[in-house]
């Protein structure tokens, strides 16, 4: 029975640790601290059970398997929650005003640049979006300019700009028009 409790505790604990870590990295400290209370409680109980009888190999096996499966579940949960924002740099061989208009009409903030490549001009789009819209963004790019080179990264901090209320308003308008 102890082994089952330890296993379940790890299945719960490790996804909590994953989410708390993500929240800390993204600067959402208050929620992370609150989650940390539950994390500490579960951690002490499960390790206490393991350390109470180090001759019981099943408790250790349950801890290890619960930990491993918990990591997997935590990564799935993080993928589903899609907390935060993503920035895309889209590099194009040719100017594509239709792509820019489509992205903007879909509620994405787009800034365009012209650069110098080795042989000709290149065009770059910088786009900031909520992570839960990443798939939608990539579908638009794949459909309208499949040869585009796209790099994405997660910004840690930002201030001002298009991200504020206008971004939400445009997304709502795009959804109502669909």
DSSP secondary structure string for all residues of 78-147: HHHH--SEEEEEEEESS--HHHHHHHHHTT-EEEEEEEE-SSSEEEEEEEEEEGGGHHHHHHHHHHH-TT
Domain boundaries, the chain: 2-81, 85-177
Residue among 21, 137, 151, 152 at smallest CA distance from 75: 21
For residue range 44-87, list pLDDT tens digits in order: 999 999 999 889 999 999 999 999 999 999 888 888 887 778 89
The pLDDT, as a whole number, for residue 173 is 72
Residue the block writes with tokens 């638009």 = 140
For residue range 35-44, list pLDDT tens digits in order: 999 999 999 9
Instruction: Please say if the pLDDT value at position 137 is more than 90.
Output: yes
For residue range 81-126, list pLDDT tens digits in order: 877 788 999 999 999 999 999 999 998 889 999 998 888 889 999 9
Task: Tell me whether residue 46 is exposed, middle or buried, using C-beta atoms within 10 angstroms of its C-beta: 0 to 12, 13 to 18, 19 or more.
Answer: buried
Residue 86's region, left for phi above 0, alpha for psi from -120 to 50, else beta, is beta
Listing from the earlier edge strand, what are the strands of the sheet with 109-116? 109-116, 121-130, 85-92, 149-153
Asked if 53 and 59 count as a contact pair (C-beta separation under 8 A), the reply is yes
Is the domain covering 85-177 a CATH 3.30.70.120 domain? yes
Distances (CA, A) of 38 to 6, 97, 123, 137: 15, 50, 49, 36
């Amino acid at each position: 029975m102890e082994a089952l409790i330890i296993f379940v505790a790890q299945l719960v604990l490790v996804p909590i640790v994953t989410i708390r870590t993500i929240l800390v990295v993204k600067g959402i400290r208050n929620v992370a601290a609150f989650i940390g209370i539950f994390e500490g409680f579960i951690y002490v109980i499960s390790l206490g059970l393991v350390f109470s009888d180090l001759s019981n190999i099943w408790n250790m096996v349950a801890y290890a398997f619960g930990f491993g499966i918990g990591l997997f579940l935590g990564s799935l949960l993080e993928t589903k929650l899609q907390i935060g924002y993503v920035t895309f740099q889209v590099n194009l061989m040719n100017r594509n005003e239709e792509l820019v208009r489509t992205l903007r009409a879909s509620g994405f903030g787009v800034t365009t640049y012209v650069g110098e490549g080795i042989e000709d001009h290149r065009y770059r789009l910088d786009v900031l979006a909520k992570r839960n819209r990443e798939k939608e963004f990539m579908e638009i790019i794949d459909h309208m300019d499949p040869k585009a080179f796209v790099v994405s990264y997660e910004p840690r901090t930002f201030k001002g700009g298009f991200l504020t209320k206008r971004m939400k308003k445009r997304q709502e308008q795009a959804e109502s028009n669909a």
